[in-house]
């Protein structure tokens, strides 16, 4: 299948691109002109870089008209750690996404997968199911994601485009941005610094990014429609993540649990219902929490050694 992937230079986008290539798809990967090209791509793979700013409607239309994709996986969005929750760039991302959908429709692209977020759900419920958990985002980021999904669903139905919306939960792994939980603790410990976190009693749904990428491919190939959670379905205490990283690095004494204050508004539980993902696709995660964190540490160790 000829697949267009936007945000291919990013954390999840780079892994989705690699996963699609490993499954034999022809991939046309879109990155910004100033974006990183951090994929490990076999030169024999059917692969093409498209250095495009999606805000440039003319350039985007020309590229998509030339490619004539059979499916598109749209993963580009503003995601700077610590800022994306309230950033006004979220509004621009809504606009860019809708413009992209129109261009894809004009080109006759029959299938669109776009990236949602667990931030769309009402976190007071803790357990997040596509079928029954209310959508009540508490941030601008979550609100923009939810609004984009609603608009795309209506537009794609009007244009007879097969549409799926992948809601990601807590991803970690190689190429993760600095400043996130796994990356910040790992780099602090590798540098011999004290790694601080909250009491870590809150439970979250963590998934290795390679497993998430495989899930996106499975959703694409199985013609899943509508919203679908991309997660492990297993609750893990945040402190368990921190303690496992410290143990892998032999730096337990450099980990300070409770060294940071938690947010009073932070929910004690945020867990995905993954029954639909498992029921409608053949996807199964390959990475355990232990092996996934070891993989992350290995990657960050390599990055630190070569920085």
Residues 123-174: pLDDT tens digits? 999 999 999 999 999 999 999 999 999 999 999 999 999 999 999 999 999 9
Listed in order, the ranges of the chain carrying CATH 3.40.50.720 are 2-170+207-230
pLDDT above 70 as % of the chain: 96
Under a CB-based contact definition with an 8 Å cutoff, are residues 213 and 259 in contact? no
Domain boundaries 177-205+236-268+288-305, corresponding CATH code: 3.90.25.10
Q: Which stretches does DSSP call E strand in the chain?
A: 2-6, 26-31, 47-51, 71-74, 111-117, 127-128, 162-168, 170-172, 195-197, 203-208, 226-230, 235-237, 255-257, 269-272
Q: What is the pLDDT of residue 158?
A: 98
Residue 82: predicted pLDDT: 86
pLDDT in tens, 194-234: 999 999 999 999 999 999 999 999 999 999 999 999 999 99
pLDDT value, residue 48: 87
* Distance set, CA 30 to CA 62, 63, 106, 266 (Å): 13, 10, 18, 35
Average pLDDT value for residue range 74-78? 97
Report d(CA 215, CA 231) in Å as an integer: 9
What tens digit of pLDDT does each residue of 84-125 get? 999 999 999 999 999 999 999 999 999 999 999 999 999 999
pLDDT at 260: 84
Please state which CATH number belongs to domain 2-170+207-230.
3.40.50.720
Q: Are strands 71-74 and 162-168 parallel, antiparallel or unpaired?
A: unpaired
User: pLDDT tens digit string along 16-49?
Assistant: 999 999 999 999 999 986 555 555 555 556 788 8
- Residue 234, helix vs strand vs coil: coil
- 3-state class (DSSP) for residue 264: coil
Give the pLDDT confidence score for residue 34 in this predicted structure.
56
Task: Locate CATH 3.90.25.10 in the chain.
Answer: 177-205+236-268+288-305
So what's the pLDDT on residue 126?
Answer: 96
Q: What does the pLDDT read at residue 25?
A: 96
Whole-number pLDDT of residue 45: 64
Q: What is the pLDDT of residue 259?
A: 87
pLDDT digits (tens, 9 = 90+) for 271-288: 999 999 999 998 999 999
């Amino acid at each position: 299948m000829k697949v267009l992937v936007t945000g291919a230079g990013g954390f999840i986008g780079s892994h989705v691109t690699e996963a699609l290539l490993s499954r034999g798809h022809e991939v046309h990967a879109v990155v910004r002109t100033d974006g990183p090209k951090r994929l490990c791509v076999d030169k024999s793979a059917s692969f093409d870089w498209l250095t495009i700013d999606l805000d440039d409607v003319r350039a985007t239309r020309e590229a998509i008209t030339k490619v004539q994709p059979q499916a598109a996986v749209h993963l580009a969005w503003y995601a700077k750690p610590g800022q994306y929750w309230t950033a006004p760039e979220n509004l621009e991302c809504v606009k860019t996404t809708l413009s992209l959908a129109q261009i894809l429709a004009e080109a006759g692209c029959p299938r669109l997968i776009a990236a949602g977020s667990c931030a769309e759900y009402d976190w007071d419920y803790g357990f997040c199911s596509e079928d029954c958990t209310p959508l009540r985002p508490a941030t601008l980021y979550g609100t923009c994601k939810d609004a984009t999904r609603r608009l795309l669903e209506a537009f794609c139905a009007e244009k007879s485009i097969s549409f799926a919306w992948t809601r990601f939960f807590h991803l970690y792994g190689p190429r993760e941005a600095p400043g996130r939980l796994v990356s910040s603790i790992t780099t602090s410990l590798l540098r011999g610094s004290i790694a601080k976190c909250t009491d870590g009693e809150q439970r979250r749904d963590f998934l290795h990014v390679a497993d998430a990428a495989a899930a996106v491919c499975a959703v694409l190939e199985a013609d899943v429609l509508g919203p679908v959670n991309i997660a492990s379905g297993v609750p893990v205490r945040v402190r368990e993540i921190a303690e496992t990283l410290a143990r892998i690095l032999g730096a337990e004494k450099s980990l300070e649990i409770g060294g940071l204050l938690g947010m009073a508004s932070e929910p004690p539980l945020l867990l995905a219902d993954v029954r639909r993902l498992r029921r409608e696709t053949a996807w199964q995660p390959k990475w355990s929490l232990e092996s996934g964190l070891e993989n992350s540490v290995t990657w960050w160790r390599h990055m630190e050694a070569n920085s």
